């Protein structure tokens, strides 16, 4: 299938990043969200990020201007009906994703491919609620999308080869690298990454180390660019907890039990950078540990 128009559901951090890279690759993009201010903020953020690429001579000014012209926005989800590929990048809640697909299905072309940017939810289960499980798959970008090179492609049990090949071609055109994952809880990256973050929270919870000593140890001792607690704040502690719950529920193994301290932070609304407090407090000039 020749994919020319891409619909993106959700104008948050992931959605606007996906719109950014798709538009730069020459695709016509229609970005949808339920809030008009989210769409305005997304366009502003995309423009700002592209300006940064121009200043670093990664792209030309004409590349930037042409890409911005390819991005349209809409508050009406059903406007995405005529697109060739839809990438759902809404909140990491299965009920919300199912509601989005239920609204989209009646207006889609028969050949339209549906995908989800979910970081952990079963692709097979999401696909089974649609009219096209064979044309449905996981299309998991890493954050921040314009910088990170990996895309996980996840086949559901019914995903056919044509759908997989079409999505792989899109990844290649985006100048990114795909990794194929089977449809098991959290796929590859988060299956490995989230238990490490969860263990770092346990290390803090049990008093083995402070926030600073844990992050410093992993940065200087394991050569990680970010400490695990700093990374958790960047990802969002609610997202980390949701993925750990998917692992724990889906694999029924106690080694995936979310740390009680992680749950407490989420209950407090301290979700990391997006709320200005998590394992670090971001309200001042310099982030300071909260424990």
Bind-site residues for NAD(+): 10-15, 33, 92, 97, 119, 143, 274
Closest CA relative to residue 52, chosen from 143, 142, 145, 146: 146
Q: How far apart are CA 105 and CA 94, in angstroms?
A: 16
User: Using alpha carbons only, what angle is made at residue 42 by residues 39 and 48, rounded to the nearest 5 degrees?
Assistant: 145
55 is catalytic: no
Closest CA relative to residue 200, chosen from 287, 116, 124, 291: 291
Sign of CA dihedral 246, 249, 255, 259: positive
Q: How far apart are CA 133 and CA 144, in angstroms?
A: 29
Which residue in the list 152, 178, 198, 230 is annotated as catalytic?
A: 152
Task: List 88's β-bridge partners, or say none.
Answer: 9, 116
Which residue in the list 32, 116, 117, 119 is annotated as catalytic?
A: 119
Which residue in the list 94, 190, 198, 230 is annotated as catalytic?
A: 190
119 is catalytic: yes
152 is catalytic: yes
Q: How far apart are CA 267 and CA 244, in angstroms?
A: 15
Which residue in the list 20, 88, 140, 230 is annotated as catalytic?
A: 140
Active site residues: 119, 140, 152, 190
């Amino acid at each position: 299938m020749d994919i020319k128009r891409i619909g993106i559901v959700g104008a948050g951090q992931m959605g606007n990043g996906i719109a950014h890279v798709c538009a730069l690759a020459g695709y016509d993009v229609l970005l949808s969200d339920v809030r008009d201010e989210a769409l305005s903020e997304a366009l502003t953020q995309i423009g700002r990020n592209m300006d940064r690429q121009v200043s670093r001579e990664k792209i030309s000014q004409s590349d930037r201007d042409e890409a911005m012209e390819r991005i349209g926005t809409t508050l009406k989800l059903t406007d995405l009906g005529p697109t060739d590929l839809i990438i759902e990048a809404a909140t990491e809640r299965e009920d919300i994703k199912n509601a989005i697909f239920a609204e989209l299905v009646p207006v889609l072309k028969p050949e339209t491919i549906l995908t989800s940017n979910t970081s952990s939810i079963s692709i097979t289960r999401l696909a089974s609620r649609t009219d096209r499980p064979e044309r449905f798959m996981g299309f998991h970008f890493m954050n921040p999308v314009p910088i990170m090179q990996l895309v996980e492609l996840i086949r559901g049990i019914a995903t056919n080869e044509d759908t997989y090949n079409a999505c792989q071609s899109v990844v290649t055109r985006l100048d990114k690298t795909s990794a194929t994952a089977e449809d098991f809880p959290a796929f590859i990256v988060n299956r490995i990454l989230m238990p490490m973050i969860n263990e770092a929270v346990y290390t803090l919870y049990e008093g083995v180390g402070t926030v600073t000593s844990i992050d410093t140890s992993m940065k200087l001792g394991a050569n990680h660019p970010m400490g695990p607690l700093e990374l958790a704040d960047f990802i969002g502690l609610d997202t980390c907890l949701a993925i750990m719950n998917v692992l724990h529920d889906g694999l029924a193994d106690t080694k995936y039990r979310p740390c009680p301290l992680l749950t407490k932070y989420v209950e407090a609304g301290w979700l990391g950078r997006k709320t200005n407090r998590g394992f670090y407090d971001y309200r001042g000039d310099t982030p300071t540990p909260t424990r």
